[in-house]
Amino acid sequence: MDIESKVISIIVRELGLEESEVTAEKDFIDDLGLDSLDVMTLAMAMEEEFDIEIPDDDVEGIRTVQDVFNYLHKRLK
Protein backbone atom coordinates (compact mmCIF):
# COMPACT_ATOMS: atom_id res chain seq x y z
CA MET A 1 0.00 0.00 0.00
CA ASP A 2 1.37 3.43 -0.76
CA ILE A 3 1.67 6.09 1.93
CA GLU A 4 -1.46 7.94 0.85
CA SER A 5 -3.68 4.87 1.06
CA LYS A 6 -2.22 3.86 4.43
CA VAL A 7 -2.81 7.36 5.81
CA ILE A 8 -6.39 7.43 4.61
CA SER A 9 -7.16 4.05 6.10
CA ILE A 10 -5.62 5.11 9.42
CA ILE A 11 -7.69 8.31 9.45
CA VAL A 12 -10.84 6.36 8.70
CA ARG A 13 -10.08 3.82 11.40
CA GLU A 14 -8.89 6.14 14.16
CA LEU A 15 -11.33 8.98 13.66
CA GLY A 16 -14.39 7.14 12.42
CA LEU A 17 -14.70 9.15 9.23
CA GLU A 18 -16.02 7.97 5.87
CA GLU A 19 -13.34 7.24 3.28
CA SER A 20 -15.11 9.48 0.76
CA GLU A 21 -14.79 12.43 3.14
CA VAL A 22 -11.05 12.09 3.50
CA THR A 23 -9.58 13.93 0.54
CA ALA A 24 -6.16 15.58 0.34
CA GLU A 25 -7.21 19.20 0.59
CA LYS A 26 -9.44 18.75 3.64
CA ASP A 27 -8.43 20.63 6.76
CA PHE A 28 -8.77 18.41 9.84
CA ILE A 29 -10.26 21.05 12.07
CA ASP A 30 -12.10 23.35 9.68
CA ASP A 31 -13.40 20.79 7.17
CA LEU A 32 -13.50 17.48 8.98
CA GLY A 33 -14.74 18.89 12.27
CA LEU A 34 -11.98 17.38 14.38
CA ASP A 35 -10.26 18.92 17.37
CA SER A 36 -6.75 18.96 18.78
CA LEU A 37 -7.24 15.69 20.64
CA ASP A 38 -8.18 14.01 17.36
CA VAL A 39 -5.09 15.40 15.64
CA MET A 40 -2.97 14.13 18.55
CA THR A 41 -4.59 10.70 18.29
CA LEU A 42 -3.86 10.68 14.59
CA ALA A 43 -0.22 11.67 15.10
CA MET A 44 0.16 8.83 17.59
CA ALA A 45 -1.34 6.36 15.14
CA MET A 46 1.07 7.56 12.45
CA GLU A 47 3.98 7.13 14.84
CA GLU A 48 2.99 3.54 15.43
CA GLU A 49 2.23 2.69 11.83
CA PHE A 50 5.42 4.16 10.36
CA ASP A 51 7.64 3.57 13.39
CA ILE A 52 8.73 7.19 13.72
CA GLU A 53 8.48 9.84 16.40
CA ILE A 54 6.61 12.99 15.54
CA PRO A 55 7.61 15.92 17.78
CA ASP A 56 4.78 18.16 19.02
CA ASP A 57 6.10 21.05 16.96
CA ASP A 58 5.68 19.00 13.79
CA VAL A 59 2.15 18.06 14.82
CA GLU A 60 1.36 21.78 15.10
CA GLY A 61 2.18 22.20 11.44
CA ILE A 62 -0.19 19.52 10.21
CA ARG A 63 -3.47 21.06 9.16
CA THR A 64 -4.66 19.11 6.13
CA VAL A 65 -4.63 15.55 4.88
CA GLN A 66 -2.12 16.66 2.24
CA ASP A 67 0.13 17.96 5.04
CA VAL A 68 0.22 14.43 6.45
CA PHE A 69 1.18 12.98 3.05
CA ASN A 70 3.91 15.59 2.59
CA TYR A 71 5.22 15.14 6.12
CA LEU A 72 5.48 11.38 5.84
CA HIS A 73 7.09 11.47 2.42
CA LYS A 74 9.70 13.81 3.84
CA ARG A 75 10.30 11.71 6.98
CA LEU A 76 10.35 8.37 5.26
CA LYS A 77 12.76 9.27 2.46
Partner 1 sequence: MGEDELEGKVALVTGASRGIGRAVAIELARAGAKVYVNYLSSARAASEVLDEIKKLGGEAVESAFDVGDSAAVKSAMGDLLKSEGCIDIVVNNAGVTKDGLLMRMKDEDFNRVVAVNLGGAFLVTRAALRPMVKARWGRIINITSVVGQSGREGQANYAASKAALIGFTKSVAREVAGRNITCNAIAPGFIETDLTARMDDKQREAVLDMIPLGRFGLPEEVARLARFLAGENAGYITGAVIPINGGLYM
35 is catalytic: yes
- Interface residue with partner 1 among 20, 25, 37, 56 (CB under 8 A) is 37
The answer to the question of residue 60 lying near partner 1 (CB under 8 A) is: no
Single out the residue of 14, 21, 27, 58 in contact with partner 1 (rule: CB under 8 A): 14
DSSP single-letter state for residue 76: T
What's the alpha-carbon Rg for the chain, to the nearest Å? Answer: 11
Question: Does residue 56 interact with partner 1 by CB under 8 A?
Answer: no
* Minimum distance, C-beta of residue 15 to partner 1, in the bound complex (Å): 9
Residues classed as catalytic: 35
